[in-house]
Amino acid sequence: MQELNNTLRGRDFISIHDFTIEEIDYMLETGAILKKELKSGIPHPHLAGKTLGMIFQKSSTRTRVAFEVGMYQLGGHALFLSPRDIQIGRGETIKDTAQVLSRMVNGIMIRTFAHEEVLELARWSDVPVINGLTDLLHPTQVIGDMITIREHQGGLKGIKLAFVGDGNNVAHSLLFGGAKVGMDVVIASPKGFEPDPVILEKARQDAKQTGAKLWVVEDPAEAIAGADVVYTDVWASMGEEAQADTKEKQFLKYQVNSKLMSLAHRNAIVLHCLPAKRGKEITDEVMDGPQSVVFDEAENRLHAHKAIMALVM
């Protein structure tokens, strides 16, 4: 474990695709251990004296709170940096921002729109950069998701996860995550809203090592049939508000409701990365029902983020 820890120290966390099967498993196990320690009152100040700079180009509840509280629990300090607070909001380049911040902090987390901004930040930063979300990927979310699935389903390999809705950043990271841990992932999306084929192909290459099956269908009922995990997300992501009404009409049959859930495995769990548009992509009956673990999932963002920070910073 020490050798693997040394391998991760100083690394950027931009995509699950960038890590080996063993490294992802180590992150998940580290998250589980940190959670157990926290619940047992055992302090773990692995980042004592260290500081995380958090750049938020998009608003956030779970990501901000999990990183900020996580740094506190790890003995460090987090700085919230919105575009209104730093010069990046007035035209300073990503390159200059990276070079300045990396001389003052020990790690940088960024939540933004364009994935290229994260890559540019990492290129010029001398400290680890953590991708807190882009329009392409949401890897920190999926580390938390996989911790949750392990807790409730006893493992990941051979589990069938059905994601119903837009083939978005969460869907992309679920494909990468499933490929690394041997979890079968099926994405059900309307025509024109499927996952990026380049992401799907990269994930399928990863899946050759674990035997995970990854595929895309149009029919949500086909995807959910026999699923151990049913996952959904908002139909219009941040920045797509103008498309919300149009997308809603195209996604009506993709609502996760009791009828669709009846097709899943009887012990299936329900995930949602939140925030949810209740009555749209998911009904109250399902989200508040006995199969829902969405708030366990939200809590596990804290433990996932702590594992990532503790290992790379």
Tens of pLDDT, residues 137-173? 999 999 999 999 999 999 999 999 999 999 999 999 9
CA distances in angstroms from 111 to 15, 16, 130, 218, listed in the order given: 13, 16, 9, 30
Q: Is 40 exposed, middle or buried (0-12, 13-18, 19+ CB in 10 A)?
A: exposed
Whether 73 sits among the annotated catalytic residues: the reply is: no
- Radius of gyration (C-alpha) of the chain in whole angstroms: 19
**CA–CA distance, 133 with 169 (Å, rounded to integer):** 8
The confidence score (pLDDT) of residue 85 equals: 79
**CA–CA distance, 67 with 79 (Å, rounded to integer):** 10
Domains in the chain, ordered, with CATH? 2-137+300-312 (3.40.50.1370), 140-298 (3.40.50.1370)
Q: Which of 108, 80, 225 is nearest to 161 (CA)?
A: 225
Is 80 exceeded by the pLDDT of residue 229?
Answer: yes
pTM: 0.96
Residue 55, Cβ neighbours under 10 Å: how many?
27
Whether 115 sits among the annotated catalytic residues: the reply is: no
Is 90 exceeded by the pLDDT of residue 6?
Answer: no
Question: What confidence tens digit (pLDDT) does each residue in 45-103 have?
Answer: 999 999 999 999 988 999 999 999 999 999 999 999 988 878 886 789 999 999 999 99
Selected catalytic residue, list 115, 138, 150, 172: 138
Q: Which residues pair with 156 in a beta bridge?
A: none
The confidence score (pLDDT) of residue 84 equals: 80
Average pLDDT score over the chain = 95
Selected catalytic residue, list 184, 233, 255, 305: 233
Both structure tokens of 22? 């063993």
Selected catalytic residue, list 255, 273, 291, 303: 273
Whether 135 sits among the annotated catalytic residues: the reply is: no
Q: Which residues pair with 80 in a beta bridge?
A: 54
Q: Which residues pair with 129 in a beta bridge?
A: 108
Whether 123 sits among the annotated catalytic residues: the reply is: no
* Half-sphere exposure for 79 (CA within 13 Å, toward CB): 15
Is 70 exceeded by the pLDDT of residue 214?
Answer: yes
Is 60 exceeded by the pLDDT of residue 1?
Answer: no
**CA–CA distance, 211 with 207 (Å, rounded to integer):** 6
Question: What confidence tens digit (pLDDT) does each residue in 263-294 have?
Answer: 999 999 999 999 999 999 999 999 999 999 99
The beta strand positions in the chain, using DSSP E, are 51-56, 77-81, 107-111, 129-133, 160-164, 184-188, 214-217, 229-232, 269-272
Whether 233 sits among the annotated catalytic residues: the reply is: yes
Selected catalytic residue, list 73, 115, 135, 141: 141
Both structure tokens of 35? 């959670």
Whether 301 sits among the annotated catalytic residues: the reply is: yes
